A and B are shown apart, each in its own frame.
Chain A
Amino acid sequence: DIQMTQSPSSLSASVGDRVTITCRASEGIRNDLGWFQQKPGKAPKRLIYAASSLQSGVPSRFRGSGSGTEFTLTISSLQPEDFATYYCLQHNSYPLTFGGGTKVEIK
C-alpha cells in the first residue's frame, strides 16, 4: 500500500497568513493526488485534483503543486472560512490512501 505522510498535523495561523501543507508519498504516484477540505460535521470538499488543477468554484488563493512523491497545498492568504481540516488523497493505485490530515486553527 502507498503511505501518505502529511505534515504538519496541525497549525495555528492568522487571517492573511500564507499556509503550506505537505504530503509525501511512499512511492511515486505521478500527479494522481487530490486535496480536500473538511469542516466539522460536513462532508469533505475537493479543492485540487491532478495535484495542481483547481476545482471549479474554489478560490484562486488555493494552489497545489508537486509530482512523484512530494506535494504541497498552499493557501496564499488565509481567510476566516479556510479554518478547517485538510487531507491529501492518492488515487494512483488501490487501496486509495489519505494523508492523516492537517487541522488549520485560528491563532
Chain B
Amino acid sequence: QVQLVQSGAEVKKPGASVKVSCKGFGYSFTTYGIHWVRQAPGQGLEWVGWMSGHNGNTNYGQKVQGRATMSIDTMASTAYMELRRLISDDTAVYYCARGDPLDTWGQGTQVIVSS
C-alpha cells in the first residue's frame, strides 16, 4: 500500500527555520517526485514546490523561492522540505504528495510561526 508519513507539528519563532520530512512506503521512491502543498488556516491549497526523485531537479513557488530547500534521501525513501526566515504567513499545514501527480498525500504537518 502506497503511503506517505510526515513528521510532527512544529512551533517556530519568526526568522527561524523548519524542516519537515515525508517518508514513503510501498513504492519505488526514485520513480516519482514529491510535491509540497500548504494550507493556511481557513484557506485553500497552495502549491509550494516539487523535487524529482530521479535526478534531484527542483521547482519552487514564488512565495518560498530563495527560502525553501527540498531534498531527498533515496536510501531512506524520505523527502525533506526546509523553509528558512519564517514569517507569520508561513503558518499552515504542509502536505507532501507523490508526483503522479499528487495521487497520494501525507497526513500533513502543522507549522506555526509565532513570537
A residues touching B (Cβ–Cβ < 8 Å)?
A: 34, 36, 38, 43-46, 49, 55, 87, 89, 91, 94-101
Is B95 in contact with A43, judged by CB distance below 8 angstroms?
yes
User: Which positions 36-86 of chain B face chain A at CB distance < 8 Å?
Assistant: 37, 44-47, 50, 59, 61-62
Q: CB-CB < 8 A to B35: which residues of A? A: 96
- Residue of B whose beta carbon sits closest to that of A100: B44
- Residues of B in contact, count (CB < 8 Å): 21
Is B106 in contact with A94, judged by CB distance below 8 angstroms?
no
Is B59 in contact with A95, judged by CB distance below 8 angstroms?
yes
Tally inter-chain residue pairs, CB-CB below 8 A: 51
Known: A94-B59, A95-B59, A96-B35. A45 touches B47 (CB 8 A): no
Give chain A nearest CB distance to B14 CB in angstroms: 25
Give chain A nearest CB distance to B77 CB in angstroms: 19
Is A101 in contact with B102, judged by CB distance below 8 angstroms?
no
A87 to B95, CA, bound (A): 15
Is A98 in contact with B95, judged by CB distance below 8 angstroms?
no
Q: CB-CB < 8 A to A94: which residues of B? A: 50, 59
**Of B45, B101, B108, the contact of A91 (CB 8 Å cutoff):** B101
Is B47 in contact with A97, judged by CB distance below 8 angstroms?
yes
Is A34 in contact with B47, judged by CB distance below 8 angstroms?
no
